[in-house]
Chains A and B, each alone.
Chain A
């Protein structure tokens, strides 16, 4: 018997299928213009590539910003906020986790959870791109790097350049200024990653840090941001043994299993 979770975010969509033993299959892709299209596409990908008949899925929960529309379309039977789902998913992967840092394309969240992944408290970034994946995306584009390269390149930095502004737009101007003055991309990228980590660390402090700490979302793949956060918070960020972007969908699938009676 299978249970599924679909997470349609601002930049990527994921579907995870679990059974009584654990994760059976998952897929991730860039989003389509409409959340329902994204959900259908990621489910199709899963069905085709993993040869998984969707009819075998007993219960499905949607999450992410399109969660209600996905449910209204009949693709899921219930929906839950991505905040709760990230808590559940993280707790399943790292049972000792009590703080989850999740940084997606347009959102940054810090979630405090209990022993069973239940939501204790959370904080989400204000309406601003600073401290989200979009911030890194803008600066990476200005530097002519891919998002993956932004993290890797900065590990070779000789010095970390200071970016005084945390606003994505103003920061882009500062990045351009450094480029024009001939600074290396590695040094600038290191400054960008540090600026990002500072914003996230402030969010963590707002909700209160409790060990152990994990990190999910696309930005968790950026080694430099992770390293800066570990240094600033004086804590080790426990890595998952699966793709950090599927944690929300995994949480939704776990909830589906609970709701579906297993």
Chain B
């Protein structure tokens, strides 16, 4: 875990450096709707873009407005200042408009030779699945042509198998966090996920074996209350650590740098492209999807009940319109289900705001009688 602690806050990790030195290619993506199996099937490292270090955003602010989410502005800042120069290209999605603004301004300045825009439908219907299959085929073709690799059906199915293995192991890690007493904390789980999001699936799977073996008998400090956390994109391990420092245990999550990235990736089809479309579009528990609120709510309630939580934290970055709006219904539904809620609007990565965040969490625990 000590190695993980370092890697989970580095952008250009030792692992990525080795990969590049061996001549490996790296593609950056940001959205949980990006099928990493397709990138991995091309022998390319799928690298999820993060904003570690929460940099000042003076370069990002020159291209995005202050009313854009700071996570996106921070990623853009890192891209523009050269921290991501090890990437060989970017895969954009229409996850949200802030994200699109980030990608397109990044590309406008950096002009990667490989830049692909994967258009993800906002509906889950038969025709949108068909559309997404076409989009995935275009992405497959673009990667294949630019990098000169043959992405065969077999390679895709092999990558699917590898990620199924990774997801099964992540579920075991989550079970270690959910059990009473837990063997792993919320901050540690996020470290693992962040680290894994910069690795090839096979290597992440091997790392998970080590983490599971190390953590099986561990006993983190005692806690006062078990909470579930949900909300907008965040890679802030320190936010989770701050919350847990007040005596809470983040026993479960519905974050896209968390369970939403892997919990349900199911599909029936024998055709690899159709299968990827089903796995991703079929289980995209994100408020960017229209008419899917009930499924998202059910997923959250099911997760909360399984983890036996005392309360929920809905956290979102200032100006995140998708999660800001979603929080209203989420709060009402969670409270109707008997789960008290703390809505925590915050600026991404603002360490100066730690005191106010901890005050609200501490008061929430006091409200829970903990």
A→B interface (CB under 8 Å): 65, 80-84, 107, 119-124, 126-127
Contact = CB atoms under 8 A, between A and B. Distances in A.
Contact of B350 (A81, A122, A127): A127
21 contacts: A65-B355, A80-B362, A80-B366, A81-B359, A81-B360, A81-B363, A82-B363, A83-B360, A83-B363, A83-B366, A84-B366, A107-B356, A119-B363, A119-B367, A122-B367, A124-B359, A124-B360, A126-B345, A127-B318, A127-B345, A127-B356
A93 B257 CA distance: 46
B14 interface: no
Contacts of A124: 356, 359-360
A84 B360 CA distance: 10
Contacts of A119: 363, 366-367
B84 to A, nearest CB: 27
A80 B370 CA distance: 11
B205 to A, nearest CB: 40
Nearest to A206: B343
Contacts of A82: 359, 363
Interface string B313-343: 0000010000000000000000000000001
Interface size grouping (class) on chain B:
10 to 19
B366 A127 contact: no
B346 interface: yes
A65 B366 CA distance: 16
Contacts of B347: 127
Give the interface centre of B343, B347, B360 by most chain A CB atoms within 10 Å: B360
Contacts of B356: 65, 107, 124, 127
Interface string B66-107: 000000000000000000000000000000000000000000
B353 interface: yes
B363 A84 contact: yes
Interface in B229-267: none
A108 to B, nearest CB: 12
B363 A122 contact: yes
Nearest to B347: A127
A177 B363 CA distance: 41
A66 B347 CA distance: 21
A82 B362 CA distance: 10
B359 A127 contact: no
Contacts of B360: 81, 83, 124
Nearest to B366: A84
A126 B346 CA distance: 7
Contacts of A120: 367
A81 B357 CA distance: 11
